[in-house]
């Protein structure tokens, strides 16, 4: 019988969140693929797991690790995948090993557990019946503008990850894309001593982050865009003029107004064409 690839979720800050079944899986596998052997080594010693080999499978080495992992599975050994925190494969390595194992016909399973996105979503206070996970938005360029415009027009609740040193800029760009009145929850340091969920509008969030200097890890949960029916053509043209006179280029102005009104890209674009350059 061949072995199984086991994705094992680990705590996102509180070691008490390591599920007992995770410890059992880590203890009984032949190899643990991890992002950082020192980091995961500490978790293993906390869990009382010793004698299992750790190997690095991070964003640069995950592909190179594949042959070894498939070889162990072929030999009937289980292989575990962990990351520094949370669920492997969610904005973290794991997906490529899963694909390789699935393609080769091996069984893939998971020990479910902590993931920052699920916790942030359920404590946000926003609609949890339909949501999208955007992970990290691109850092710069056209890709970033396009993604923010998509996020702004999204009717479902949106969950985003962000590094602390980019949180203020991303919130400011979201406020520009969605309009300052859209509500957001900033979930910080989840499960840790200084866990905090700040709730307010994007405009208020910009001021809040300017005051507190972002620290720790952030998940941003954004309320979905409002229904498109409310805005008239006149209101959209007015909003476009305001954005353009505030210094935005046409592309940004269109994205901002789409986000603020919930109107379709086509409609806002066509109305933008009626404004002389």
- Which positions touch ligand SAM (CB under 6 A)? 12-13, 83, 85-87, 90-92, 115-117, 161-163, 187-192, 217-219
Name the residue nearer to ligand SAM (CB basis): 94 or 179.
94
Name the residue nearer to ligand SAM (CB basis): 26 or 90.
90
CB 113 to ligand SAM: min, Å: 9
Torsion of CA 16, 19, 24, 25, to 10 degrees: -120
Calpha distance 129→119 (Å, rounded)? 14
CB 86 to ligand SAM: min, Å: 2
Angle (nearest 5°) at CA 91 between 3 and 187? 125
End-to-end Cα separation, the chain, in angstroms? 69
Name the residue nearer to ligand SAM (CB basis): 53 or 165.
165
- Identify whether the C-beta of residue 252 lies closer than 8 Å to the C-beta of residue 199: no
Name the residue nearer to ligand SAM (CB basis): 163 or 227.
163
DSSP bridge partners of 203 = none
CB 165 to ligand SAM: min, Å: 10
CB 246 to ligand SAM: min, Å: 30
Name the residue nearer to ligand SAM (CB basis): 93 or 224.
93
Q: Fill in the DSSP letter of residue 10.
A: B
Name the residue nearer to ligand SAM (CB basis): 134 or 217.
217
DSSP bridge partners of 53 = 31
What is the DSSP annotation of 121-163? HHHH-S--SSEEEEEEPPSSHHHHHHHHHHHHH--SEEEEEE-
CB 160 to ligand SAM: min, Å: 8
Torsion of CA 228, 229, 231, 234, to 10 degrees: 120
Name the residue nearer to ligand SAM (CB basis): 217 or 223.
217
CB 7 to ligand SAM: min, Å: 10
CB 177 to ligand SAM: min, Å: 19
Collapse the DSSP code of 76 into the 3-class scheme (helix H, G, I; strand E, B; otherwise coil) and give the result: coil
CA within 13 Å, CB half, 97: 39
């Amino acid at each position: 019988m061949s072995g199984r690839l086991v994705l094992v979720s680990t705590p996102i800050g509180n070691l008490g969140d390591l599920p007992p079944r995770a410890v059992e899986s880590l203890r009984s596998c032949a190899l643990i693929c991890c992002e950082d052997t020192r980091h995961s080594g500490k978790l293993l010693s906390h869990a009382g797991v010793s004698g299992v080999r750790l190997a690095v499978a991070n964003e640069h080495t995950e592909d190179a690790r594949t042959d070894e992992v498939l070889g162990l599975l072929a030999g009937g050994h289980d292989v575990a995948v962990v990351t520094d925190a949370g669920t492997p494969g969610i904005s973290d390595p794991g997906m490529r090993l899963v694909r390789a194992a699935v393609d080769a016909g091996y069984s893939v399973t998971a020990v479910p557990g902590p993931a920052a996105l699920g916790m942030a979503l359920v404590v946000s206070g926003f609609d949890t019946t339909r949501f999208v996970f955007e992970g990290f938005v691109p850092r710069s360029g056209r890709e970033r503008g396009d993604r923010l415009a998509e996020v702004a027009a999204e009717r479902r609740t949106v969950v985003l990850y962000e590094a602390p040193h980019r949180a203020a800029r991303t919130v400011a760009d979201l406020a520009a894309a969605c309009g300052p009145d859209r509500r957001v929850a900033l979930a910080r340091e989840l499960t840790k001593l200084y866990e905090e969920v700040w709730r307010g509008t994007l405009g208020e969030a910009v001021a809040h982050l300017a005051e507190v200097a972002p620290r720790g890890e952030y998940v941003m949960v954004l309320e979905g865009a409002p229904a498109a029916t409310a805005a008239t053509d006149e209101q959209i043209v007015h909003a476009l003029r305001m954005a353009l006179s505030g210094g935005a280029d046409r592309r940004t102005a269109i994205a901002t107004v789409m986000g603020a009104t919930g109107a379709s890209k086509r409609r806002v674009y066509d109305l933008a064409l009626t404004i002389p350059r």
